Chain A
């Protein structure tokens, strides 16, 4: 038996480099990348790794004054170099000034791209202190951001004034970055002082443009994402995955293999799973194994794990691992899975149909109503879409006392992670602690388990901490996607344009495992006819198993796909009836007092008519502008399009509770225990703003404890646009609860003010002024003297067999218009302008709400024009394209606040609504520009070109 020698110690070289102005020397492998040297050898984890291939720019640093991808620079090449990273002030303090601008402008959401953005912008400003917008785009063009749509990033860079402002936020820190910034400290718990005032004294904080409370760590590069920390004695886990979409396999002599590799401590397989070797979202759909047993159902499925030192596991060739594959013919795509005699992918689902969903109201719409003046129909198709969060999944697990485990990882759903990890280990949920890392983007993709059960099983077997970081390819090949959809839909309207009937049948490719397939199948029927009054509706859905990558949750759970269909039909009807596209939507828009197709009465907060009205002037102006441009029949034709959407906040007709807690301790510490994970959307800030106003204190009065299953209550998952609405309500109730208790102590009325002055509570009501020494109150075991609790579960009902009932407590509404320019010769589309009007109930923090909308628009643009995940073909960020800063149009956001009485201070969700209208608005604009109706996305240039050519041919 061969034993592979460990690498010779002399394989490293002595590197000397200057990092952020300080000489550093370190031993490193010459071919190691600068990114690894900075992160692993110098502990500068502010430099992020999103792809290791130059595609994302997250690792951007300055080397000898020029921005480079640290993942493409050999350690040996950095010898003697002058390196600037996000941790430093940058040349002339430029990074420091940009940092503050990013914070004020809300340019960092999840923060994973922020270090790269800051360094790219530093490179620019060091050369040119007054850059044009084009120069900014050129400089930032190599850094991808999936959250912000780049709008606030560009604004932030532009705001850094040409001359250092010695009085403003930039000046002082820029000169002496080590000095603690002047203004008041951030809430304890965020770890770093914030240089900005966190509240506006004398005003409520709801509605204020508060900088993110967790923002400083993001712009300083000190936030800890999944790959940024692990115990020093951790072993590394590398997972071997199936290269086949469907195959049977046999494992060989793994023990002999292990013994032949010094440093390879263990190999974990299905046999090592102590509990159930399966996980999944719903109790009856836990169909995905942690490690495959004898067969794999998609390319990228985990087969076994190599656990050992990093050097050891990174040396092993996969071809040498004793796995014997028997590839089988995969069922790729919906047609194959539904074909006669197609094999069943899962026992128990002989027809490969995972779930069906339906909604029916009124008469059978197939019998087009007699008064129908127009009936239109179409077939629509969308593809797999990748979340492309810039942070690949990462984390570590630590076994404790032989019977417990702690997992630190990026996630959107810590409590679900806890329960499934416990199930996999065969222990009770109470013995699993999930500590969410900072989450570098989620968008639904981090609602499923990824590294958690793999790490847990590996750490359990190795009896040591184990860490892992997915490679970009591994992340893209194995994580869930947006469901490809095939939709047939038909709509009819009377001569005035009033909708009479809508009918649709949608098949969703759910891939090899269930994931959130049932949610998509249940949510879509409710929404599929669009945000309109329709008396007769029949919507049916199916989620189909295939041997493709599992599809799960992605911003909108199938509704974005359905919106492409219903909005196209609205344009069809408008065209057929000779009605303006805006007008037909306005005529049918759901509003207050209307009933939805599920029979739900919209008693309040249904602001779609207001959204449309807010667009009207822009719409008319754009139509005129476009007509003038096109008058000369130019090659580059312009068009304007419009689309509406609605989206139910929270789970569909299922309980959806959240609980929040806050407590005062005897020393005067006011702690907000907030179990909602902030994935960049801003729940940490928004919920604190709500809690602050409910209690009657400034938001910086709180110490924050965020999302830790051992310390916080279950706030549910960060999905379905529910955290502001559901957890926000719980936070409001918790704040009110504590306020009530404090006021009772002071024996004062509702209008009293509360001031926390050290360990003394000062309560004032008119002339009355009371001081309560907290230490004088009865104390519980944790040193707490007063506690406020809030729990909220939105009022919904189950749906009957026809999908009738109250599936959601409230809905977000929006209308967006898009202006495009199409090169009719090349088939390329440039989106020039988007105006987005969103009814958000109440904008708790307008900066954050706008940020959500900008980011949603960018993702909608990607969905419309460029994003297509093809398993095995586009599993990296150079073949899978997401919009860069240069693809973003000018964006105008109009916030409509039609308060939701159920929501906290009137608020409801915006996370998913942001994206849904964008793609159909762009398709509508392309059609307006060219006369060609695209029913398939993405509209890649060659697809539009083919459609244009087909139309020429048919003329």
Chain B
């Protein structure tokens, strides 16, 4: 029989986590579907469950001097409706494309990260945002960059006694903007065939001061495209789409599956990235107009 814990403080939750093997549940939008998938073929047992949703204070979006902090119970809807700056536009766009509104109303960003699906729409954005993951346990609190936190296919560094308490996103000196594009075989409720995310900082000369771009669903863990990032540095905004080269995507290792072929994924990643960068250029023009 599955035991169910619903503590009302983080300390209590950490003690439970330290004391036994439990699966954390937040929005439940991955936990329940996984349960249904297992039960579909007769695997009925479920780990004990630690429900963290009664812990106060974890559902906040907070601004500090150098960073924003997104608590682990912040849902996609809460993020979408927040007044975060354009830096977060990509993350918000991902939120709007996650499932339908029923899902967005329950699902948390941190749950999306912890599931660590190669097709998790939040993940390339968090990579592009240079987010850090804040992780607590009775042993103390640690902070780790998102790229390190995601340490394998559907795997994270979150230990059995740890709970992710939030995400920290550094503020940018220059004007910054995020963007996200997703490709799926239908509108709404669709797992990405490919998606790309990017954050660019723009200097006063209308050139890229800094860029982080990533692609998802093309490798076991969403990946930064560092060669492209390097080439974008200093480039005038209007010129960026032309800077893409096929070899920028060489490190991706997409799979053939029921949704698409590997070759297609690679080509689509490149095409989407070109569109994403073109979007940055347009945005600049629209602002100027």
Report which A residues bind B (CB closer than 8 A). Answer: 7-8, 11, 29-31, 33, 51-55, 57, 60, 66-69, 71-74, 76-77, 120, 123, 137-144, 240, 243, 314-319, 321, 471-474, 477, 825-828, 865-866, 868, 870, 873-876, 878-879, 881, 883-887, 940-942, 945-946
Contact = CB atoms under 8 A, between A and B. Distances in A.
B127 to A, nearest CB: 23
A885 B101 CA distance: 13
B170 interface: no
B102 A69 contact: yes
27 contacts: A30-B4, A33-B32, A53-B37, A54-B29, A54-B33, A54-B99, A54-B102, A67-B105, A72-B106, A74-B49, A76-B6, A139-B101, A141-B100, A142-B101, A144-B189, A240-B42, A243-B41, A317-B44, A318-B43, A319-B43, A473-B36, A474-B40, A826-B183, A827-B264, A866-B185, A885-B188, A940-B260
Contacts of A29: 4
A77 B53 CA distance: 7
Interface in B134-192: 183, 185-191
Contact of B43 (A66, A67, A240, A317): A317
Interface residues of B, number: 52
A124 B106 CA distance: 16
Nearest to B5: A30
A57 B100 contact: yes
Contacts of A11: 1
B66 interface: no
Contact of B32 (A52, A243, A941): A52
Contact of A879 (B77, B105, B258, B267): B258
B201 interface: no
B42 A318 contact: yes
Given A31-B46, A876-B37, A69 B6 contact: no
Given A71-B32, A140-B100, A945-B268, 14 more contacts: A30-B51, A31-B49, A66-B101, A74-B51, A76-B6, A77-B53, A314-B44, A318-B43, A319-B42, A471-B40, A878-B191, A884-B189, A885-B187, A887-B186
Nearest to B4: A30
B258 A870 contact: yes
A886 B187 contact: yes
B83 interface: no
B120 to A, nearest CB: 14
A946 B265 CA distance: 11
Nearest to A64: B105
Nearest to B104: A142
Nearest to B1: A7
Nearest to A142: B100
A154 B122 CA distance: 30
A321 B44 CA distance: 12
A139 B4 CA distance: 32
A117 to B, nearest CB: 12
Contacts of A319: 42-43
Q: Which 3 pairs between the two chains have the least Cβ-Cβ distance?
A: A142-B100, A318-B42, A886-B187
B36 A472 contact: yes
Most buried by B among A7, A140, A473: A473
Nearest to A866: B185
A234 B2 CA distance: 25
A886 B187 CA distance: 5
Given A68-B102, A941-B260, A141 B189 contact: yes
Contacts of B41: 243, 318, 473
Given A71-B32, A317-B42, A473-B36, A874 B258 contact: yes
B40 A473 contact: yes
B25 interface: yes
A120 B102 contact: yes
A866 B188 CA distance: 13
Contacts of B51: 30, 74, 76-77
Contacts of A315: 1, 44
A319 B2 CA distance: 18
Contacts of A472: 36, 40
Contact of B185 (A33, A67, A881): A881
B87 to A, nearest CB: 24
B99 A142 contact: yes
A825 B29 CA distance: 33
B37 A68 contact: no
Contacts of A878: 33, 189, 191
A60 B106 CA distance: 12
Contacts of B64: none
A8 B2 CA distance: 11
B45 A57 contact: no
B27 interface: yes
A31 B1 CA distance: 10
A99 B210 CA distance: 53
B58 interface: no
B9 interface: no
A569 B234 CA distance: 55
Nearest to A29: B4
Nearest to A862: B186
A137 B100 CA distance: 10
Contacts of A60: 102
A142 B107 CA distance: 14
Interface string B241-285: 000000000000000001111011101100110000000000000
A142 B103 contact: yes
Contact of A76 (B4, B36, B189, B258): B4
B267 A69 contact: no
A66 B77 contact: yes
A694 to B, nearest CB: 44
Contacts of A74: 4, 25, 28, 49, 51
Nearest to B267: A945
B193 to A, nearest CB: 7
B39 interface: yes
Contacts of B101: 66-67, 120, 123, 138-139, 141-142
A52 B260 CA distance: 26
A11 B5 CA distance: 11
A886 B186 contact: yes
Contacts of A866: 185-186
Given A31-B4, A826-B183, A886 B45 contact: no
Interface string B69-87: 0000000010000000000
A656 B1 CA distance: 53
A269 B280 CA distance: 64
Contacts of B37: 53, 473, 876
A54 B103 contact: yes
Nearest to A321: B42
A880 to B, nearest CB: 9
B39 A68 contact: no
Contacts of B187: 137, 141, 884-887
B4 A826 contact: no
Most buried by B among A66, A72, A876, A941: A72
Nearest to A119: B102
Contacts of A885: 187-188
A826 B42 contact: no
Contacts of B42: 240, 316-319, 321
Contact of B264 (A51, A57, A887, A941): A941
Most buried by A among B44, B51, B189, B267: B189
Most buried by A among B41, B49, B77, B105: B41
